[in-house]
Amino acid sequence: MTALPIAARIPAARIRRLVLPLALCAGLATGLTACAEDPDEGTNGVGKLDPGAIEQKAQTAADAAKAVRLAGTLVSKGGTFKLNMRLKDDGASGSVVTKNSTFELLRIGDALYMKADAAFWAHDDEGGGDSGGGDGSGGGSSTASPSEADSEAADKLDDKYVKVPQDDPSYKQLRGFTDMDLLLDGLIGLHGEVVKGDRDKIGGIRTVKVKGGEDGEGGTLDVALEGTPFPLQFARGGGAGVVVLSDWNKDFPLEAPAPGETLDYGKQLPRT
């Protein structure tokens, strides 16, 4: 007589009783292996540090960097600014957008240039266009339309690089948008007790969050877990804006505009 295979001689119910515990054991083993995986495997190890040390690592990396792109929105009492600037030690280029205007900035050393369209140069904020009538009249905008002479002057400035004189009151303010050290120092500092937050990804790069306060009221910084621990995103507390930092140490060219594209007004910009 031909012997039956072992499986054929075991009742089906008994096979099920044997298979089920084996399957559960296999699943449990898989789960234990997954739980045992190191979330910092393949990272730069910064995620293992305490939050204060993570912040310091990010600050040190930023201080040593030669270039960066900064893009995002900043909200302040003076209004909302959208920045898209490429910055390095000896200059910068990019754009600034406000509620009423858009302009480009280019700085090479101490030479600062500004470019905008005719509408920007023709606009006159004097008269408090957004005020509610400070004399109690409750009237709306009192900003007068630009004169014909102003419009003609603005047309000459349209899409030209205007050199901002260092003696002009606006020079220091505009230069602030192009100063890498000034912007980074003012934008990536946390306030309050620093705590460690969740893991995330910014631009496809794994990050760990460090927050100023439990709810991030003092800001939230995303620090890279891959490569150099650069700060990759900073969310200001109170919804005061979010900036993304990328292209760390990626150099870019800075060239002075051609003479035919440049206007120099000497010691002061046009009043309009």
CA atoms of 207 and 196, how far apart (whole Å): 11
DSSP three-state, residue 185: helix
Tell me the residue ranges of DSSP E strands in the chain: 67-76, 79-88, 91-97, 102-108, 111-116, 160-163, 194-202, 205-212, 220-224, 231-235, 241-246, 262-264
CB 234 within 8 A of CB 243: yes
What is the pLDDT, as a whole number, of residue 147?
A: 61
User: Which of 248 and 99 is assigned the larger pLDDT?
Assistant: 248
What is the pLDDT, as a whole number, of residue 79?
A: 86
* Residue 51 scores a pLDDT above 90: yes
Q: CA quadruple 92, 58, 238, 206: dihedral positive or negative?
A: positive
* Residue 10 scores a pLDDT above 70: no
What is the pLDDT, as a whole number, of residue 18?
A: 46
* Residue 52 scores a pLDDT above 90: yes
Average pLDDT of 167-187?
A: 91
267 — pLDDT class (breaks 50, 70, 90): low
94: left (phi over 0), alpha (psi -120 to 50) or beta: left
Average pLDDT of 202-211?
A: 96
CB 104 within 8 A of CB 117: no
Q: CA quadruple 176, 180, 182, 187: dihedral positive or negative?
A: positive
Q: CA quadruple 206, 211, 214, 217: dihedral positive or negative?
A: negative
What is the pLDDT, as a whole number, of residue 207?
A: 97
188 — pLDDT class (breaks 50, 70, 90): confident
Q: How confident is the model over 227-251, as pLDDT tens digits? A: 999 999 999 998 999 999 999 999 9
Q: How confident is the model over 120-141, as pLDDT tens digits? A: 887 655 444 343 334 444 444 4
- Which of 36-50, 63-77, 144-158 is predicted least confidently? 144-158
Q: How confident is the model over 77-88, as pLDDT tens digits? A: 878 989 999 999
Report DSSP state, residue 48: G
Average pLDDT of 36-41?
A: 74
- Alpha helices by DSSP H, listed for 41-157, are 51-64, 118-122, 148-157
Q: How confident is the model over 150-164, as pLDDT tens digits? A: 666 677 787 789 999
- Phi (first) and psi of residue 263, to 5 degrees: -125, 135
What is the pLDDT, as a whole number, of residue 245?
A: 98
